[in-house]
Chains A and B, each alone.
Chain A
């Protein structure tokens, strides 16, 4: 099976569709609002590498890299592989089901040549803790069956990008083990979009949900091109604890190039309180489903009516604070009287988590 729709339970198999697609399928199954689409499976990627001796070829190039982290060598490898893969298009055996699935998506959306986002959804054995943070490409506003097939091919090639190889080397992940599944998803007409963590990324506080959002597509937020609006929501009770407007001077209406935001909208909050609360509620549900803090991308679709316009784009486990070892606040062996003594003497317990001081926590996509 080379393609599988989000609504198909088979799409929740993370080994076959990658974390991104599996997350979307899980959200779909949970009744959460997700833009419709399908995944091109890891099986399709494996089938592609079976073409024209690509697997032994790429393995050979990768073997030539040795064990050292050498950016120049990675970049050389990229050039070599890109050239070769560029000469090998997707076989019809893969391209045909992609065209069919895309045609179905167009029918479901009621739009001919519906615009889609093509996003990598990499998977690899033994890489549970790796996020592939922002390493692989995402393209939005791709329209037409042949374009979709072409961008899936681009996605495959991106596995061998120099920076990806460098990331994998650092994470000690074998590039041969990477299998590139691809998400094809209806492009959202985003009035606003952003990122939500179901904990405070700066303090690790799990009782907070933090959202950052800007006008247009989420690219400007993820890419750090604007100072987004920031919302802090109480996970318990879903009260908005903080809304601070950012300075949002550009927005991506389409995937290609940003455009200027009118002066009077730059400081205006791009989400309403109701939207913030509803999104946080979805984040809370997702955290419960996955039983761990989540890192979620969302958008507000301007083509959809209020109350029905929130779209979740992706959901993945938060990795930095979630992987930190958490110790109880007080020294358990010291006992209650010692805790009380410290507290009333102005020297409460020492830091609660080994991850304290992690400040460079960034959203991963």
Chain B
């Protein structure tokens, strides 16, 4: 197999999925491959960002793909001028988000960018703690600001205050204004997301490179263990579950907490006793903000948070409670974890010469300075901000139902952000003159057309890549964050040739384990997971930690060593192979596999019949030669 002749399909070669004809019209034109951009698209290598969008996305939800890669691009290309990286180009294909690293190759331009980068990034590294402190305030402000957004009902007469406060403009203006604020502030938050991210990775990667040179065979797990924080924000939601489980044990409530009832029934049963009410008070206390936590990353409007689906945290608490009852110690002893980390560091350091040790100290210091951002930023952006953003989007849906434009709030998500803007203009302007909105039928017909299309897109898995792969994947961010390495790409290319009995991923977390798999497409399926099963999912989400304590192993489609989820997996000692590209499409629930979290391999031991419930149509990625 030679690189010159082996590639993935081009976008224009991809077949429209059955029932999905016309999908392109649902998204902003610049997110969709086109004739005008075909030459560029065919020259690039695109891989599926199923880490963030694990399912085909609704038209409105494509706003995330815009905001994320606008932020990433601006900071890489224009603000910090990363010498060889211009961020990631983005397309939506069959509803899935694909991204493509853009490289700078002209040596003169690289030189110029080096100078800009060193000056600008240098400022941030030199003032990191202060600027990161400011960032946290900025993010808290941004979340608070999102919370103030509202879409006032359109009533027969504008509220009296419009007159008594002599506002001089209709309250309907707030609908338009706040819609624009919702969009703009979401984009701003995604700018903030990238303010530190690439610099954080840069600091970490430099330490990483040092370790790889000083200890050529060192595992990535060992490196990240030296850097990882032991009491960062990322562990708080899960720690809350552990605490609540311990309290349940202490108050003798395990019989209720571990019962299989619906959340409402469990909570009602608890409310009947004094101990139960004590526990409920603690539960309520933990909810805000720690249950404002998506089971995945909150990139689609239909994901539940722990708060919106209390069965998720209750299930986690129940699992921990069972362990405590069995005499297991589930606490995370911060002091001991920190001592262990220091001991590992000391041992590696002792193997170095004095000169090496000096660089090791400097770079470990840098890595530890920047790492909290890498570990914590998801809480602020993906969990807390997204939580409010989607709440507000749903409020807008309710507003449109109230205004008689939509029959269901959910329908809103079948329109993209620009279409919604026109809808709102139609609604308020029609309201102002007392006529029915002009596009009710037009848009409801369109929504009706789109529903089966979105369903068809979501029923398929994403092929891992399109276009011409590079001989070597060098983009450090593609490698570190997405787990897209040269080996992985070659595996994807070879996928259609292989016997299907084994495939590879990125070693995510140490350990070898054999067992039946449970393929889960979303957090809603988590209750299906049985003790002893190996969890297979599009991504590993940190909020699944409690489930990981039941699973014996984890396999994911996408993700690298540094994806936030992998960090948490290692912390909890769960063997994992991540970034396999297509495990959810390849494996069927019930099949036995052996995974080696050190080597990053998955071997299928049998081909047992799949559990039909979890089965989906797979779109294979045939290699084109």
Contact = CB atoms under 8 A, between A and B. Distances in A.
B356 interface: yes
Contacts of B209: 329, 342-343, 348-349
A155 B603 CA distance: 53
Contacts of A327: 355
Nearest to B599: A242
A329 B214 contact: yes
A341 B117 contact: yes
Interface in A200-218: 200, 203-208
Interface string B191-222: 00000001001110110111011111111001
A346 interface: yes
B463 interface: no
B476 A329 contact: no
B216 A203 contact: yes
- 9 tightest CB-CB pairs across the interface, nearest first? A348-B209, A203-B216, A346-B474, A343-B206, A329-B213, A206-B351, A207-B215, A352-B213, A205-B217
B348 interface: yes
Nearest to A344: B202
A272 interface: no
A133 interface: no
A207 B121 contact: no
B219 A241 contact: yes
Contacts of B206: 336, 339-340, 343-344
Interface in A202-236: 203-208, 232, 234-236
B215 A336 contact: no
- The binding surface of chain A is classed by DSSP as loop
Contacts of A344: 82-85, 198, 201-202, 205-206, 476
Contacts of A205: 215-218
B496 interface: no
B476 A328 contact: no
Nearest to B354: A328
6 contacts: A241-B219, A336-B363, A340-B202, A344-B83, A344-B84, A346-B475
A232 B218 CA distance: 11
A22 to B, nearest CB: 24
A337 B205 CA distance: 13
Contacts of B363: 336, 339
Interface in A316-352: 326-330, 332, 336-346, 348-349, 351-352
Contacts of A341: 83, 114, 117-118
A235 B202 contact: no
B222 A234 contact: yes
Interface in B491-512: 510
A146 interface: no
Nearest to B359: A328
A331 to B, nearest CB: 10
Interface string B469-484: 0000011100000000
A352 B83 contact: no
Nearest to A293: B351
Nearest to A239: B510
Given A340-B203, A341-B117, A344-B83, A200 B217 contact: yes
A345 to B, nearest CB: 5
Given A208-B217, A241-B598, A337-B122, 11 more contacts: A328-B355, A329-B213, A337-B121, A339-B206, A340-B202, A340-B366, A341-B118, A342-B209, A344-B202, A348-B213, A349-B209
Interface in B311-369: 344, 347-348, 351, 353, 355-356, 358-359, 362-363, 366
* B213, B344, B598: residue with the most chain A Cβ atoms closer than 10 Å: B213
Contacts of A343: 202, 205-206, 208-209, 476
B210 A330 contact: yes
Contacts of A352: 213-214
B110 interface: yes
Contacts of B476: 343-344, 346
How big is the B interface, by class? 35 or more
B125 interface: yes
Given A339-B363, A352-B214, A345 B358 contact: no
A345 B366 contact: no
Contacts of B216: 200, 203-205
A237 interface: yes
* A236, A342, A349: residue with the most chain B Cβ atoms closer than 10 Å: A236
Given A235-B351, A236-B222, A206 B205 contact: no
Given A207-B348, A328-B355, A343-B205, A338 B218 contact: no
B210 A337 contact: no
A59 to B, nearest CB: 42
Contacts, number: 112
Interface in B148-206: 198, 201-203, 205-206
A236 B203 contact: no
Given A237-B344, A239-B510, A329-B210, A345 B84 contact: yes
Contacts of A328: 353, 355-356, 358-359
Contact of B121 (A232, A326, A340): A340
Contacts of A330: 210, 359
Contacts of A232: 217
B340 to A, nearest CB: 9
Nearest to B209: A348
B252 to A, nearest CB: 39
A41 B174 CA distance: 98
Given A204-B216, A207-B351, A337 B125 contact: yes
B90 to A, nearest CB: 21
A23 to B, nearest CB: 21
A263 B359 CA distance: 51
B137 to A, nearest CB: 26
Contacts of B218: 205, 207
Contacts of B114: 341, 345
A204 B215 CA distance: 8
Nearest to A288: B350
Interface in B260-294: none
A359 to B, nearest CB: 13
B474 A326 contact: no
A237 B347 CA distance: 9
A110 to B, nearest CB: 41
A341 B216 CA distance: 21
B217 A203 contact: yes
A203 B216 CA distance: 6
A239 to B, nearest CB: 7
Interface in B212-242: 212-219, 222
B225 to A, nearest CB: 9
A346 to B, nearest CB: 4
A330 B122 CA distance: 18
Contacts of B348: 207, 236
Interface string A253-281: 00000000000000000000000000000
A340 to B, nearest CB: 5
Interface string B118-135: 100110010000000000
Contacts of A235: 347, 351
Contacts of B353: 326, 328
Contact of B362 (A204, A237, A336, A348): A336
A345 B348 CA distance: 26
* A235, A329, A348: residue with the most chain B Cβ atoms closer than 10 Å: A329
Contacts of B219: 234, 241
* A200, A203, A344, A352: residue with the most chain B Cβ atoms closer than 10 Å: A344
B118 A337 contact: yes
A327 to B, nearest CB: 7
Interface string A12-34: 00000000000000000000000
* B208, B217, B218, B355: residue with the most chain A Cβ atoms closer than 10 Å: B217
B110 A345 contact: yes
Contacts of A346: 84, 474-476
A360 to B, nearest CB: 17
Contacts of B203: 340
